[in-house]
Amino acid sequence: MNHTLIKNAKIVNEGTIFEGDVLIENEIIKEIAESISVKPNFTVVDAEGSYLIPGVIDDQVHFREPGLTHKGDIASESRAAVAGGITSFIEQPNTVPNAVTQELLEQKYQIASASSYANYSFMMGGTNDNLEEVLKTNPRNVAGIKLFLGSSTGNMLVDNEEVLEKIFSSTSMLIAVHCEDEATIKANLEKYKAEYGDDIPMEFHHLIRSEEACYLSSSKAIELAKKTGARLHIFHLSTAKETDLFTNKIPLEEKKITAEVCVHHLWFTNEDYKTKGTLIKWNPAVKTQADKDGLWKALLDDRIDVIATDHAPHTWEEKQNPYTSAPSGGPLVQHAVVAMFEAHLQGKISVEKIVEKMAHNPAKVFKIEKRGFIREGYFADLTIVNTTAPWTVNKDNILYKCGWSPFEGTNFKSRISHTFVNGHLVYANGKVKEDRFGQRLLFER
């Protein structure tokens, strides 16, 4: 039996911070107490007043395997994730081929079981014509159904309203959606192409993939969810206007409609296009300072429930293309937690709130079994964050397969010192231990 004792930690859990120790026995948190005695067979990790938080659960990543592994793969990106304090991820279906049959979905689980350093789940993809396959999805071991209501990477746009209503009506599983109105975007794009050709200046991206495109799509999806009683989770809100569509009047456990915001929409604004260019080209687009402020407000007052990354790597070469052919998306899993701790040190958010939005709430939204909290009997997915260990993001310490980060050159005051996945120390002192793989997430439904 393996025992690891984490000593002298500032334990952050369920709205409180308290100094104490955590004893891990094999995969499980065995004991949480003010002080636990060291026994001869214990491995001791002294947290020295650093924060001990539940391992972060990222509910939206694109790890690019199968079919797009020149950009990233499950091994490389999960390695970056655990180095960033993320212990579980939910990956999206727009790989090649798209995960739109049960067989293709299961193939991804097989790949992860032999290559993912973090715990994993994969979303089943919905299309205009695969309802039968969608309905075969097992709610016990698949996170949910993913629908693209605006085209993004891959060819998975669901634009048949009849089909959409059928999917919403037919499944009790969580339906996660990417909301951008395709017709609005196309019309906007044509307008700018007429003026600039393919080399549209990046600063128009948020006007092409506009507030109107986002709001139109989000409000439609919510209307449909209310009509059908579907369990809807809206990914990556990017506008202040959309936040008014959500409520904080009921507890998260009772919400049928929930929302997520991504780190990049909380960090960057359209002003950053001048310096970052296509490196911060995302769908939906990074928008204005007013939008960023509105997202922060909704996050802090609990209209927005979850913080995620939408980690979506592309090669440096691909990102150098002109506007119309430069792909949208960027790598984020290694830097998301320290970016949020930077926001904490700037006075924008409490550590308790970071933990709520990045660990507790993803576990609640998806009903993930025995993860997302520091509780006795739960899996020992744990992250130690040292807020007094500054470092600068550069090419030498970036772990993404694509080799770049939109945070390159950023000085962070915090760093991840240790990451435990299922009780196993998978990351310490800047090194990922590649001797054990994560587990398939299970769901209490």
| CA distance linking residue 367 with residue 7, whole number of Å | 30
Q: What average pLDDT does range 147-165 have in this prediction? A: 80
Confidence of residue 151 (pLDDT cuts 50, 70, 90): low
* Residues 6+ positions from 57 with CB-CB distance below 8 Å: 86, 87, 88, 89, 90, 358, 359, 362, 363, 366, 368, 371, 372
Both structure tokens of 410: 């950023």
- Does residue 172 surpass a pLDDT of 80? yes
In tens, the pLDDT along 311-361 reads: 999 999 999 999 999 999 999 999 999 999 999 999 999 999 999 999 999
pLDDT value at residue 152: 56
pLDDT value at residue 153: 53
| CA distance linking residue 37 with residue 40, whole number of Å | 10
- Does residue 174 surpass a pLDDT of 60? yes
91: three-class secondary structure by DSSP: strand
Nearest-Å Rg of the Cα atoms of the chain is: 21
State the residue for tokens 């196993």.
424
Both structure tokens of 272: 């950053």
User: For the chain, what is the mean pLDDT?
Assistant: 97
pLDDT value at residue 159: 85
Confidence of residue 156 (pLDDT cuts 50, 70, 90): confident
Confidence of residue 384 (pLDDT cuts 50, 70, 90): very high
Whether residue 217 contacts residue 180, with contact meaning beta carbons closer than 8 Å, is answered with yes
Q: What average pLDDT does range 104-121 have in this prediction? A: 98
pLDDT value at residue 389: 97
- Classify residue 18 as exposed, middle or buried by CB count within 10 Å of its CB (0-12, 13-18, 19+): exposed
Query: 111 vs 3, 79, 146, CA distance in Å?
Result: 30, 15, 20
Both structure tokens of 439: 């587990």
State the residue for tokens 């998806």.
366
In tens, the pLDDT along 386-441 reads: 999 999 999 999 999 999 999 999 999 999 999 999 999 999 989 999 999 999 99
- Classify residue 231 as exposed, middle or buried by CB count within 10 Å of its CB (0-12, 13-18, 19+): buried
Q: What average pLDDT does range 370-392 have in this prediction? A: 98
Q: What average pLDDT does range 161-168 have in this prediction? A: 93
In tens, the pLDDT along 25-82 reads: 999 999 999 999 999 999 999 999 999 999 999 999 999 999 999 999 999 999 999 9
- Classify residue 251 as exposed, middle or buried by CB count within 10 Å of its CB (0-12, 13-18, 19+): exposed
What's the distance, Cα to Cα, between the start and end of the chain in Å? Answer: 31
